[in-house]
Amino acid sequence: MTTKTAQRASAFSMPQLLAKSAWYPQLDEAARQQVLSDAFERTVVAGDALIRHGETPLWWFGVLEGVLKWSTGTPDGRSVTLGGLSVGSWFGEGSLLRGRPMQAEVVALRFSRVVMLPKDTFDWLHATQPAFGRFLLSQINERLHWFMGDFAAHRLLGVEAQVARALVGLLHPWLHPGAEHHLQISQEELANLVGLSRQRCNQALSQFKAASLVRIEYGGITILELARLNELAQPTFTEQAAPVR
């Protein structure tokens, strides 16, 4: 796959995103038309926030193009990356259902295009479309399971395994349904998502490249051995945390 072809494949129009989403085809015709009428597109340039910590969310989001980082931090500058958001991802449902201000922020790592579905429409779908409610339950369950795995990974795994987990995570079939094995992400963007320095991240990628697990290209990374990367990303009973002193 050429870089130009990969770039085309890594961007959707709004109708394409909706058609490929697990929830939209399950709606009745009136609900599908309401979504098309109410949703609109917004662009976010690299470094800008789609939504900031403390803001009350008024939208549900879907990613058409680009890469965004979901993180939280402290006033003194310390931060924790909660995950990446790529083409095909829908997010923000937890805060909408809670009706509380955001406890994290979402920032674009590159030029990104995002679908905005108003809260009123989201609430209406939740109240009137059983299939949408089932989707949200599965979505929240998958995200919780992934966050629990991330918590364990940062406690139990080394740098290489954390980088492997970030790559595998960007191919999660539920949270990133639009992803392909060629990821349009730079090494710097990946380091940002993992929460590591670029140097440490690049060292891990060099090991993966030497083992023929990935191919590193200009502006992207192609996953060659997803199953092996997934094995590296999982805690095992032979890996133990440092003893308490």
pLDDT digits (tens, 9 = 90+) for 77-124: 666 777 788 889 999 999 999 988 888 899 998 899 999 999 999 999
Does residue 33 belong to any structural domain of this protein? yes
CB 163 within 8 A of CB 204: yes
**pLDDT tens digits, residue range 137-192?**
999 988 887 777 777 777 777 888 888 888 888 887 777 776 678 787 788 888 87
Does residue 240 belong to any structural domain of this protein? no
The DSSP annotation for 153-200 comes to: HHHH--HHHHHHHHHHHTT-TTTSTT--SEE---HHHHHHHHTS-HHH
**CB-based contacts of 74: which residues, under 8 Å, 6+ apart?**
none
Q: How far apart are CA 25 and CA 131, in angstroms?
A: 10
Does residue 124 belong to any structural domain of this protein? yes
- In total, how many domains does the chain have? 1
Q: How far apart are CA 69 and CA 82, in angstroms?
A: 8
Does residue 237 belong to any structural domain of this protein? no
User: Both tokens of residue 245?
Assistant: 């002193």
**pLDDT tens digits, residue range 182-216?**
787 788 888 877 878 888 899 999 999 999 999 98
- DSSP structural state of residue 6: H
Residue 25: its pLDDT value, please? 96
Does residue 243 belong to any structural domain of this protein? no
Q: How far apart are CA 35 and CA 26, in angstroms?
A: 13
Does residue 48 belong to any structural domain of this protein? yes
The model's pTM: 0.76
CB 169 within 8 A of CB 161: no
Strand, coil or helix: what is 127? helix
Q: Residue 97: which of 128, 119, 69 has the closest Cα?
A: 119
Helices then strands (H, E): number in the chain? Answer: 10, 11
pLDDT value at 239 more than 60:
no
CB 83 within 8 A of CB 150: yes
* CATH number, residue 142: 2.60.120.10
Q: Residue 64: which of 178, 171, 193, 175 has the closest Cα?
A: 178
Q: How far apart are CA 191 and CA 222, in angstroms?
A: 16
Strand, coil or helix: what is 216? strand
Does residue 241 belong to any structural domain of this protein? no
pLDDT value at 21 more than 80:
yes
Does residue 93 belong to any structural domain of this protein? yes
Q: Which domain holds residue 73?
A: 3-232
Q: Decide: residue 38, CB within 10 A, 0-12 exposed, 13-18 middle, 19+ buried.
A: middle
